[in-house]
Structures are given as C-alpha cells and as structure tokens.
Amino acid sequence: MNQTVVALGMFDGVHKGHQALLRRAAEIAHANGDIAVAFTYDNHPKELFSGAFPYLCTKEQREKLIRLTGCDRMDSVPFDAAFAAMEPEQFTDWLSTRYTGGISALVAGYDYRFGAKAKGDTTLLGTLCKARGIALSVIDEVKVDGATCSSTRIREAIREGDTALAERMLGRPYTLSGEVVHAKALGRQFDCPTANLDAGMQLLPKDGVYATELTFEGKRYDAVTNVGTNPTVGGHARTVETHAIGESLDLYGKRVEVAFIKRLRDEKKFDSKDLLFAQIRTDAETAKKVCEERKKSVYNSEPLC
C-alpha cells in the first residue's frame, strides 16, 4: 500500500518558497511510488485569533496552484480552537494516523511552527518524527531580490501597488478571483462596460488604476481595472471594477480572474462622468500597450493562477 509524503504549511499565495517546498514533497513521494499531499487549513490561524484576514488567494486557487507543483492533492481542515489547543506531540500523532498506509516523510519550511501557542519548531518536529519512524525534510528560505520570499512581504508589496515585486515572489501576477456582481452599470452608458468583482476575503491592491488581464472561461482579455471607492460617482466602499478592452462581455453572476500587471496611476475624482470615462478610455489604451508588451516577453499558455 502506498504511503504518503506530507507537505506542511498554510501555503497562502503559493509563492516561490512554497513552490520549492511542495516540489520537494512531490519529488520524494514520486521517487518511491508514494503520494504527495499538501496538508493545510481552510482558514488562516491568524483569522481565529485576530478576525478578518487578507488572503492572497482563494481556497480553489490554492488547490489549483498546489497541484501545478506536482503534488497529488491538497488536504485541508478547519483551524478551530480545539485544533489550536493541540500540543505538538498530539498534532504529530493525529497527523501520522490520518493517511491510509501511513506517512513516510514530512516536508516543512525552515520557520514552520505547530502545536499550541506555536511552541513546536522544526527541531522538535525532527525529534517527534524520528520517534515515529517518519523522515523529515526541512526546506531552506527562498530569497527574492536578496530578501526572504514570504506571504507577509507579498502583502506589503500588494498594499503598496508594487505588482512587479509581488509577481517576482509569486512567480506569476497577483490575481483576484471571484464572482461578478451587479453595480451601477454606468460604464455601459459610456460604451465602457465594467465588471464589478466580489473578491471576498482576498487582499485588494492599493487603490488606483491597473493594467490587468481578465480570464473568463479559459480565455484571456487585456483589461484595465480600477481599485478604489469611485469618488466621481459618490462611491464609498472599495470595489474592483474591470473593463475588458474592446469587448462587451456579459459577466454578471460569472466567476472571473483578474491578474494585476502594472499600476498606472492613482485613483482620482473627476469633475464629471464624461471626464471620468474619457480618462478610462485613455487608461485602456495605456493598459493595452502594457499587456501587449508583456505578451512579447513572458506570455505562456498556462493559466495565470
């Protein structure tokens, strides 16, 4: 019976550091005919203790990205109070009996913490694994631009609108995924229809206008996206409004993905709706050029996320 190699982590964003860890788990497993599983949580542990948490991807995106590394599947459980109270030894025992055939190896990052009050580290994990006949592989930090690649650093870049740095750490553009919901539909009055994306708990980039790529039903469209409150039309809540350049797509109620390529400018309040939509058309021309240049250099046939 096949055993399981388990990669441990939250894997929010599945950045380059996560990818190295997940690929290592897949390599170890497949070299021995075992199954590679990424063990993670439905919700971030910080959400339990601190409330709302800004995710870098949806659970569906995370699973898709994990599979792209070569892991066979993702296994996730709710991180609740009972789980948080598990002692490191309890967690290791619980995990070791979770998979049919048993666990042959665990793979964790150099900074992995586990157990009640995060008291367990990789040194303790190594001791616990040895006592249970489980191999442990610890992955060193991965650096980007001379600094550790981390979800925290990616969040900082996104909050600053630095899409290029976020992309270098993620290995792909930062992408929001969600359902298109009804808004004021003002864009259609100016021949510039926009899709209002409900991004749920995902982290929104810094307010402003971005060159983006919209993916719908497997097809990509050059797009321009505004993140902000739409002050010209008296908006208050932060929204993500995307216009597929040169297209008039009926996206209401559909799931789409918006990949952020480059921040073009700050959001601003215009004196009239006519001036606003004239600027949107100018922004669309700029975004189109950015997207075309990108296709020449890095475009590939794989989904952006």
Domain ranges of the chain: 4-147, 175-298
**pLDDT tens track, the chain, 305 positions:** 789 999 999 999 999 999 999 999 999 999 999 999 999 999 999 998 888 899 999 999 999 999 999 999 999 999 999 999 999 999 999 999 999 999 999 999 999 999 999 999 999 999 999 999 999 999 999 999 999 999 999 999 999 999 999 999 999 999 999 999 976 655 555 567 789 999 999 999 999 999 999 999 999 999 999 999 877 666 678 899 999 998 888 899 999 999 999 999 998 888 787 888 788 889 999 999 999 998 887 644 444 44
**What pLDDT sits at residue 183?**
66
**What pLDDT sits at residue 234?**
64
pTM: 0.91
**What pLDDT sits at residue 149?**
97
**What pLDDT sits at residue 296?**
81
Phi, psi of 227, deg, nearest 5: -110, 125
Q: At the topology level of CATH, where does 175-298 sit?
A: Elongation Factor Tu (Ef-tu); domain 3 (2.40.30)
Q: Which two tokens stand for residue 222?
A: 């050059």
Radius of gyration for the chain, computed over Cα atoms and rounded to the nearest angstrom: 22
CATH class of the domain comprising 4-147:
alpha beta
